[in-house]
Amino acid sequence: MTMLDDRTTADTTWPTAYPQGYAVVDVETTGLARDDRIVSAAVYRLDARGEVEDHWYTLVNPRRDPGPIWIHGLTSEMLSDAPLFEDIADEFAERLADRVLVAHNAIFDWQMIAREYARASSAAPVRQRLCTIALSKELNLPLPNHKLESLAAHYGVVQQRAHHALDDARVLAEAFRPSLHAAARDGVRLPLLECRPLTEWSDSPARPRVGYQASYGGGGSWRASRKLTPSPYPNPGRFEDGKPLKQGMRVAFSGDTSVDRELLEDRAVEAGLHVATSVSRLTSLLVTNDPDSATSKTVKAKAFGTPVVDEAAFTQLLRDVAPAGEK
């Protein structure tokens, strides 16, 4: 294997299978649900080796309450004169075109972007994404957790304004470059995932119906069946209250969720969990907001003694999933 370093790399030694360009993205939003909106967005365009080409930032008027001001610091007054998403969609698309979208917890940023383009009757020109959380796991980086600040500290990158889209994108771009070079040096296959654009959108809130699940197309549509990548890690057993989730745990979902089910499932898969379509004696955890419902999954969970948590608790647990084999 040809050894690469972070200083210089000849064209003939750089992995030919690696992408030719990246768009490091961060978006700040009004919340996490399917009807939440983007309030600011930033893109750092990088070349094939992770070198910065340029950067771009914009505020976005969400046409609604800005949500957690204490996180992103953007008030209604600050956003009132900002452009609407449809006004910046073309320029945003130009920054993303023909590049791999890179983000920290990339499924979230991608879904928020895809929804905004669907609302604007368009589609983002993105076909693949790369999550830096997944890449740090592939590289076995000795991080205490999977927060951006921990990845930044590992590479000596200084954060100036956490949860400001432009600074978060800068920090991630600076941390992604050495990660990319480490992956190339060690022959690591990049954890690239497909980005599927939304083809339709409804702004009406989804209405819970028996046998139905809120989906990308709005209320009243069946959830499309899809294949999720199985976890490569062995099942470590059941989740224990007070302890972290572990890679390889089998997680099942039941009932309506405030965040798109697909988003929760993809986040679980990217964290190294196995998403199960049913509950069995091997299921580590059931996630449901209605544990007293009589769905087949909740009934089986009670019969098997499977641990149950709600969506909010599961979202918190996803932040720090323990590596496979950790005691």
- pLDDT, one tens digit per residue, over 139-149 is 999 998 888 99
Most confident of 28-37, 144-153, 167-176: 167-176
- Is residue 217's pLDDT more than 50? no
CA distance 168 to 178: 16
**What angle, 0 to 180 degrees and rounded to 10, lies between the N-to-C axes of helices 106-119 and 85-96?**
130
CA distance 216 to 108: 14
- Residue 227 has what pLDDT? 67
CA distance 6 to 255: 48
CA distance 263 to 261: 5
Q: What one-character DSSP code corresponds to residue 157?
A: P
**Residue 41: closest CA among 95, 105, 118:** 95
* Local confidence band at 218 (pLDDT 50, 70, 90 cut-offs): very low
pTM above 0.75, yes or no: no
Which residues are 246's β-sheet partners?
A: 322
Average pLDDT over residues 232-245: 92
Name 178's Cβ contacts closer than 8 Å, sequence gap at least 6.
Answer: 6, 155
CA distance 164 to 87: 21
Instruction: Provide the strand spans (E) within 109-257.
Output: 128-131, 192-194, 250-254
Summary mean pLDDT of the chain: 85
Name 243's Cβ contacts closer than 8 Å, sequence gap at least 6.
Answer: none
- Residue 206 has what pLDDT? 40
Average pLDDT over residues 92-96: 97
CA distance 285 to 305: 10
The string over 200-229, giving b where at least 16 C-beta atoms fall within 10 Å of a residue's C-beta and e elsewhere, is: ebbeeebeeeeeebbbbbbeeeeeeeeeee
Dihedral sign for Cα 201, 77, 95, 49, please: negative
- Is residue 207's pLDDT more than 90? no
The string over 151-162, giving b where at least 16 C-beta atoms fall within 10 Å of a residue's C-beta and e elsewhere, is: bbebeebeeeee
- Is residue 219's pLDDT more than 50? no
Virtual torsion, Cα 174, 178, 179, 183, nearest 10 deg: 150
